[in-house]
């Protein structure tokens, strides 16, 4: 693609601006099943996304084949789209801004195909011998990917960076007394030579054994601890409430709440695309705006929404550098990047001891449907275990936890110290709450 020719042509035609976003991803995945390679996937995809601003209004077009001979035809399509967009949807493209460079801590070593196969075979063996209750290895796989983006626009923005990842994952089924449960583990692997298959097997099998023998408990209100993974899922599924776009539209539960105490003073929420503890770090967002650390909720008080350029302008604020796309073909929306609840000082065991009697919820299911993003109401299938006298008791399953997220976040007993980003861009420590409605027997 001759990018300059496209930018020049858009300028000559009187467009306010044109942005070209090029996304490239390449990767391979090897899956292992029943003692042999099950599947192998290799990929290489480059996509182009054009964002034009014409008369203050925006149009979006994503293409997988770019034809430099058809610039005018393509720009015509964008002009026609912009024409029907409402005038209150005004937007502008970014101007160049310097950003402090930031790079992730991980140093990746690409393994050979033979080493990958050997690691998968060894992991399968290790899982099968990890515990006598192991019924079947469900899947084992290796995935590495490299992605890159380049953003240029008629204002002179030029941002380009790359991102890599390598993971080994495993899934297992365990059986006890005729009841089957599955477990899953994803391990980030900077260097496959340093991976211990027995350790991956232990984590995978433990995840499954953790849920064996779970039964419902009587319906009622219980003191609860959302263990870090469950807390991350619930908090993560509702991070759209901080979106300046949804707040501006009046469809976030945080509309008109700026400066108010929305959570317990024990809760501080931070979004930081530059956080090097996380796997993915970014100096710029997908509009070319520099990223920065923001305290969204400071000791319970809502301090700032997340913004992209458009949502910020609508609310008379500055972009927070949170204009991100989902894939090259997506349009820029407001998204968190490395967003977390700041950890406290207590371990999970200490939180359990403090709770005495209650319930630890380790996993939630149905998050895509069981949440009301407008009100913060939730009702979700969950798994966990009973706690008696501060100690872990029997496993619990086939129950739901329900409530209103904002109400619940006002009744925090304590925040744990066990924040762990793993491969995620949203993470939470375990959090203990006064109570939660549980439906079971």
Partner 1 sequence: MLKKEELARYLGLCMASEADFAEIYEEEETSETISSLNTGVERVSRTVKRGAGIRLFKGVQTVYGYSNGVDDAHLLPIIDDLRRALGETEGRTAPEVTLTEAPFANNNPVRVDFESVSLAERTELAFRAERAARAYDARIVKTQVTELNVRQHVQIANSEGRLARDERVRTRLSINAYAAEDGNFQSGSCNPGAGCGLEYWETLTPESAGEEAARIAIVMLSARDCPSGRMPVVIDNGFGGVIFHEACGHSLEATSVSKNRSVFAGKLGQQIASSCVSAVDDGTIPGAWGSENVDDEGTPQKKRVLIENGILKSYMIDRLGGRRMGMEPTGSSRRQSYEYEPTSRMSNTFICPGTDSYESLFEGIEHGLYARTMGGGSVNPLTGEFNFSVREGYLIENGKVTTPVKGASLIGSGAEILMNIEKVSDNLARAQGMCGSASGSIPTDVGQPAIRVSSITVGGTANE
Residues 6+ away with beta carbon under 8 Å from 76 = none
Which 174-213 residues touch partner 1, going by CB under 8 A? 180-182
Q: Which of 433, 382, 378, 439 minimizes the C-alpha distance to 404?
A: 378
Alpha carbon dihedral 393, 370, 234, 424, in 10-degree steps, equals 110
Indicate which single residue of 337, 397, 413, 428 sits in contact with partner 1 (rule: CB under 8 A). Answer: 397
Which residue number, 62 or 342, has a Cβ lying nearer to partner 1? 62
Which residue number, 60 or 430, has a Cβ lying nearer to partner 1? 60
Question: Which of the ranges 15-23, 101-109, 234-242, 397-405 carries the binding residues for partner 1, by CB under 8 A?
Answer: 397-405
> What count of other Cβ atoms lies within 10 Å of the Cβ of residue 402?
15
Determine the 3-state secondary structure of 5 from DSSP.
helix
Strand partners, 27: 43, 145
Smallest gap from residue 181 Cβ to partner 1 (A): 6
Can you list the alpha helix ranges (DSSP code H) found in 225-345? 228-237, 244-249, 309-314
Indicate which single residue of 401, 415, 426, 428 sits in contact with partner 1 (rule: CB under 8 A). Answer: 401
Residue with tokens 């306010």: 16
CB 223 within 8 A of CB 433: yes
Question: Which of the ranges 7-15, 123-131, 258-266, 360-368 carries the binding residues for partner 1, by CB under 8 A?
Answer: 360-368
145 part of the interface to partner 1, by CB under 8 A: no
φ, ψ at 93 (rounded to 5°): -90, 155
Q: Which of 269, 238, 219, 217 minimizes the C-alpha distance to 402?
A: 219
219 part of the interface to partner 1, by CB under 8 A: yes
Which 80-139 residues touch partner 1, going by CB under 8 A? 80-82, 84-89, 113, 136, 138
Which 225-284 residues touch partner 1, going by CB under 8 A? 249-251
Which residue number, 182 or 298, has a Cβ lying nearer to partner 1? 182
37 part of the interface to partner 1, by CB under 8 A: yes
Which residue number, 4 or 372, has a Cβ lying nearer to partner 1? 372
380 part of the interface to partner 1, by CB under 8 A: yes
φ, ψ at 342 (rounded to 5°): -65, 135
Which residue number, 99 or 439, has a Cβ lying nearer to partner 1? 439
Determine the 3-state secondary structure of 286 from DSSP.
coil
Which residue number, 59 or 275, has a Cβ lying nearer to partner 1? 59
Question: Which of the ranges 140-148, 185-193, 374-382, 411-419 carries the binding residues for partner 1, by CB under 8 A?
Answer: 374-382
Question: Which of the ranges 30-38, 295-303, 347-355, 413-421 carries the binding residues for partner 1, by CB under 8 A?
Answer: 30-38
Smallest gap from residue 193 Cβ to partner 1 (A): 22
CA 91 to chain centre: 26
58 part of the interface to partner 1, by CB under 8 A: yes
Which 287-326 residues touch partner 1, going by CB under 8 A? none
Indicate which single residue of 375, 388, 393, 420 sits in contact with partner 1 (rule: CB under 8 A). Answer: 375
- Report the DSSP pairing between strands 269-271 and 294-298: antiparallel
Q: What is the C-alpha separation between 66 and 133, in angstroms, rounded?
A: 55
Question: Which of the ranges 79-87, 95-103, 388-396, 420-428 carries the binding residues for partner 1, by CB under 8 A?
Answer: 79-87
Which 339-358 residues touch partner 1, going by CB under 8 A? none
42 part of the interface to partner 1, by CB under 8 A: yes
Which residue number, 272 or 328, has a Cβ lying nearer to partner 1? 328
- Report the DSSP pairing between strands 377-388 and 358-365: antiparallel
Smallest gap from residue 184 Cβ to partner 1 (A): 11
CB 127 within 8 A of CB 309: no
Which residue number, 251 or 295, has a Cβ lying nearer to partner 1? 251
Question: Which of the ranges 36-44, 121-129, 155-163, 266-274 carries the binding residues for partner 1, by CB under 8 A?
Answer: 36-44
47 part of the interface to partner 1, by CB under 8 A: yes
Structure tokens that stand for 318 in this block: 């500055």
> In a 10 Å sphere around its CB, with 0-12 CB exposed, 13-18 middle and 19+ buried, how is residue 84 labelled?
exposed
Residue 21 to residues 118, 299, 351: CA-CA distances in angstroms? 39, 38, 47
Which residue number, 2 or 331, has a Cβ lying nearer to partner 1? 331
């Amino acid at each position: 693609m001759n990018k300059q020719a496209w930018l020049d042509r858009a300028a000559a035609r009187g467009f306010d601006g044109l942005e070209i976003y090029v996304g490239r991803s390449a990767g391979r995945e090897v899956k292992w099943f029943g003692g042999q390679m099950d599947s192998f996937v290799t990929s290489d995809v480059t996509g182009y996304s054009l964002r034009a601003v014409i008369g203050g209004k925006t149009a979006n077009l994503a293409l997988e084949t770019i034809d430099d001979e058809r610039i005018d035809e393509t720009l015509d399509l964008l002009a026609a789209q912009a024409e029907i967009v409402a005038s209150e949807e005004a937007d502008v493209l970014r101007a160049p801004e310097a950003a402090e460079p930031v790079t992730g801590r991980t140093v990746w070593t690409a393994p050979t195909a033979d080493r990958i196969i050997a690691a998968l075979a060894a992991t399968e063996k290790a899982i099968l011998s990890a515990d006598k209750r192991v019924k079947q290895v469900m899947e084992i796989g290796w995935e590495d990917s490299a992605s890159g983006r380049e953003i240029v626009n008629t204002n002179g923005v030029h941002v380009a960076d790359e991102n890599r990842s390598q993971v080994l994952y495993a899934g297992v089924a365990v059986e006890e007394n005729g009841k089957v449960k599955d477990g899953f583990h994803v391990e980030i692997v900077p260097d496959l030579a340093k991976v211990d298959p027995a350790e991956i097997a232990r984590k995978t099998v433990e995840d499954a054994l953790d849920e064996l023998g779970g039964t419902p408990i009587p319906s009622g209100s219980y003191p609860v601890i959302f263990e870090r993974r469950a807390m991350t899922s619930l908090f993560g599924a509702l991070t759209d409430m901080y979106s300046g776009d949804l707040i501006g539209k009046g469809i976030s539960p945080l509309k008109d709440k700026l400066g108010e105490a929305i959570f317990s003073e024990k809760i501080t929420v931070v979004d930081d695309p530059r956080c090097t503890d996380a796997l993915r770090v970014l100096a710029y967002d997908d509009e070319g705006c520099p990223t920065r650390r923001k305290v969204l909720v400071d000791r319970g008080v809502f301090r700032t929404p997340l913004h992209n350029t458009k949502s910020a302008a609508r609310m008379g604020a500055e972009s927070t550098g949170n204009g991100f796309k989902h894939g090259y073909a997506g349009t820029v929306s407001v998204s968190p990047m490395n967003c977390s609840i700041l950890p406290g000082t207590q371990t999970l065991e200490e939180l359990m001891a403090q709770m005495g009697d209650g319930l630890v919820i380790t996993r939630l299911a149905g998050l895509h449907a069981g949440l009301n993003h407008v009100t913060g109401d939730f009702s979700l299938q969950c798994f966990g275990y009973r706690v008696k006298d501060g100690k872990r008791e029997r496993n619990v399953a086939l129950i739901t936890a329900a409530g209103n997220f904002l109400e619940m976040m006002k009744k925090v007993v304590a925040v744990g110290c066990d924040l762990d980003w793993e491969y995620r861009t949203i993470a939470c420590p375990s959090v203990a709450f006064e109570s939660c409605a549980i439906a079971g027997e």
